[in-house]
Structure 1
Amino acid sequence: MSGNGLRVAGGIAKRAAKQKNAGVGGLEFHKSKGQHILKNPLVVQSIVDKSGIKSTDVVLEIGPGTGNLTMKLLEKAKKVVAIELDPRMVLELSRRVQGTPYQQQLQVIHGDFMKVELPYFDLCVANIPYNISSPLTFKLLAHRPAFRAAIIMYQHEFAMRLVARPGDSLYSRLAVNTQLLARVSHLLKVGKNNFRPPPKVDSSVVRIEPRHPPPPIPLLEWDGLVRLAFGRKNKTLGAAFRTSRTLQALEQNYITFKALSLGAGQQQQQPAAASIAALGSSSEPAGMDVSDDEDDDDEAAAAGGSSSMAVDGMDADAAAVQAPGARRTKGKVSPEFKELVMRVLTAGGFDQMRPAKMTQEDFLKLLADFNAADIHFS
Structure 2
Amino acid sequence: MGKPKGKGAGGGSDGGLRVAGGVQKKSQKKGPNTGVSGLEFHKSKGQHILRNPLVVQAIVDKAGVKSTDVVLEIGPGTGNLTVKLLEKAKKVIAVELDPRMVLELQRRVQGTPYANNLQIIHGDFMRVELPYFDLCVANIPYNISSPLTFKLLAHRPAFRAAVIMYQHEFAMRLVAKAGDNLYSRLAVNTQLLARVSHLLKVGKNNFRPPPKVDSSVVRIEPRHPPPPVNFLEWDGLVRLCFSRKNKTLGAIFKQTNTLQALETNWRTYQALQGNAGAAAPPAAAAGGIASLGAAAADDDAMEDDAMDGDDDNDDAMTVDGGAGGGGGGGRGGRRAGGKVSPEFKELVMKVLEDNGLDTNRSSKMSQEEFLQLLALFNAAGIHFA
**1:331 to 2:331 alignment:** no
The whole-number CA distance in structure 2 between the counterparts of 1:241 and 1:179 is: 24
Deviation for aligned residue 1:281 = 1.5
Structure 1 residue matching 2:273: 3-state secondary structure: coil
User: Which of these residues, 256, 262, 267, is aligned with residue 280 of structure 2?
Assistant: 267
The whole-number CA distance in structure 1 between the counterparts of 2:139 and 2:377 is: 40
Match of 2:289 in 1: 276
TM-score (norm 2): 0.83
C-alpha contact 2:280 2:378 (8 A) present in aligned 1: no
Structure 1 residue matching 2:199: 3-state secondary structure: strand
User: Which of these residues, 117, 126, 140, is aligned with residue 138 of structure 2?
Assistant: 126
Q: How big is each residue's C-alpha offset from its partner over 1:253-285, in whole Å with a ceiling of 9 and x where there is no partner? A: 000000001765743233110000011125999
Deviation for aligned residue 1:25 = 1.1
User: Which of these residues, 250, 260, 270, is aligned with residue 258 of structure 1?
Assistant: 270
Change (3 A) 1:247 1:18: farther
The whole-number CA distance in structure 2 between the counterparts of 1:251 and 1:329 is: 17
Match of 2:156 in 1: 144
> Which amino acid letter does the alignment assign opposite residue 251 of structure 2?
A
Instruction: Give 5+ residue unaligned stretches, structure 2.
Output: 1-26, 307-316, 326-334
Identity of aligned residues (%): 74
Instruction: Give 5+ residue unaligned stretches, structure 1.
Output: 1-14, 286-290, 297-314
Match of 1:341 in 2: 348
C-alpha contact 2:260 2:339 (8 A) present in aligned 1: yes
Change (3 A) 1:292 1:277: closer
> Which amino acid letter does the alignment assign opposite residue 120 of structure 2?
V
Deviation for aligned residue 1:99 = 1.1
C-alpha contact 1:252 1:323 (8 A) present in aligned 2: no
Q: How big is each residue's C-alpha offset from its partner over 1:231-269, in whole Å with a ceiling of 9 and x where there is no partner? A: 110110001001000000000000000000176574323
The whole-number CA distance in structure 2 between the counterparts of 1:340 and 1:134 is: 35
Structure 2 residue matching 1:205: 3-state secondary structure: strand
Change (3 A) 1:129 1:283: closer
Q: How big is each residue's C-alpha offset from its partner over 1:283-321, in whole Å with a ceiling of 9 and x where there is no partner? A: 999xxxxx978458xxxxxxxxxxxxxxxxxx968x344
Change (3 A) 1:120 1:265: farther
Match of 1:114 in 2: 126
Structure 1 residue matching 2:68: 3-state secondary structure: coil
Q: Which has the higher contact order (CA 8 A, sep 6+)?
A: 1
C-alpha contact 1:227 1:284 (8 A) present in aligned 2: no
Match of 2:11 in 1: none
User: Which of these residues, 33, 43, 55, is aligned with residue 31 of structure 1?
Assistant: 43
| Aligned Cα root-mean-square deviation (Å) | 2.3
Q: How big is each residue's C-alpha offset from its partner over 1:53-84, in whole Å with a ceiling of 9 and x where there is no partner? A: 10000000000000000000000000000000
Runs of 4+ in 1 over 2 A off after TM superposition: 15-18, 262-270, 282-285, 291-296, 319-324, 328-331
Deviation for aligned residue 1:208 = 0.1
| 1:196-345 alignment, distance < 5 Å | 196-261=208-273, 266-282=279-295, 294-295=304-305, 319-322=320-323, 330-345=337-352
Match of 1:158 in 2: 170
Q: How big is each residue's C-alpha offset from its partner over 1:329-348, in whole Å with a ceiling of 9 and x where there is no partner? A: 94310111101100000111
Change (3 A) 1:16 1:189: farther
C-alpha contact 1:348 1:366 (8 A) present in aligned 2: no
Match of 1:312 in 2: none
Q: How big is each residue's C-alpha offset from its partner over 1:126-145, in whole Å with a ceiling of 9 and x where there is no partner? A: 00000000000000000000
Match of 1:190 in 2: 202
Q: Between Structure 1 and Structure 2, whose CA radius of gyration is higher?
A: 2
The whole-number CA distance in structure 1 between the counterparts of 2:94 and 2:246 is: 42
